[in-house]
């Protein structure tokens, strides 16, 4: 696998080696000893899978207690995936990195604990899978507003549309009002 640090050095874009021929393809998506060598990921304890339609935006989510690192990828369709550094002590606090993940490019993104995460569906629909380093704990879940101007994410919103949001995401907090990490 190839590992590329994005503008936030702890957020890493991962390109797996893909072996393909007329029958299809094969690739490894996780190898514990290799990931521990290249990422500070600890152990994964939970896998998640979501499906969303075009124009749906999920995020920016994080858990203030039991923070989750996430290894994310798309198995159908295409999304714009984003990580925001919420570690107050980081020189990158409030900054974001993003990448297009798709079934076609097979890229994965490592979003470390201490970061908010979100994605926007570009294709007609997308299936998104991810491994987590801690369990989902809804009582600790928080949400930063997806379009907070102090963060300034350049979402590739389809012209003439608005993203489709959950009530939780519509009511996300601005970064200045959100609970963040030390």
Q: Name the active-site residue from 61, 62, 117, 120.
A: 61
Parallel, antiparallel, or unpaired: how do β-strands 12-15 and 108-111 relate? antiparallel
Per the annotation, the verdict on 130 as an active-site residue is: yes
User: What is the phi/psi pair of residue 21, to 5°?
Assistant: -155, -165
Q: Tell me the sheet residues that pair with 74.
A: 128
Assigned token pair, 140? 């600790």
> Can you say whether the dihedral through the CA atoms of 5, 6, 10, 13 is positive or negative?
negative
Q: Name the active-site residue from 3, 130, 135, 140.
A: 130
> Can you say whether the dihedral through the CA atoms of 32, 37, 39, 42 is positive or negative?
positive
How many other C-beta atoms can be found within 10 angstroms of the C-beta atom of residue 147? 16
Per the annotation, the verdict on 117 as an active-site residue is: no
CA nearest neighbour of 55 among 172, 167, 159, 168: 159
Catalytic residues: 61, 130
């Amino acid at each position: 696998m190839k590992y590329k640090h994005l503008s936030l050095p702890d957020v890493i874009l991962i390109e797996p080696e893909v072996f393909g021929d007329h029958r299809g393809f094969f690739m490894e998506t996780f190898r514990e000893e290799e990931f521990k060598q290249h990422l500070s990921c600890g152990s994964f304890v939970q896998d998640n899978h979501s499906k969303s339609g075009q124009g749906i935006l999920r995020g920016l989510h994080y858990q203030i207690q039991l923070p989750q690192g996430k290894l994310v990828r798309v198995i159908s369709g295409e999304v714009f995936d984003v990580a925001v550094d919420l570690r107050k002590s980081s020189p990158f606090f409030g900054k974001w990195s993003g990448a297009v993940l798709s079934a076609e490019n097979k890229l994965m993104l490592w979003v470390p604990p201490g970061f908010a995460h979100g994605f926007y569906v570009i294709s007609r629909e997308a299936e998104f899978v991810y491994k987590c380093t801690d369990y989902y704990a809804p009582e600790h879940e928080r949400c930063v507003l997806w379009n907070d101007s102090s963060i300034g994410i350049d979402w590739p919103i389809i012209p003439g549309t608005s993203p489709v949001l959950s009530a939780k995401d519509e009511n996300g907090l601005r970064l200045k009002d959100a609970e963040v990490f030390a």
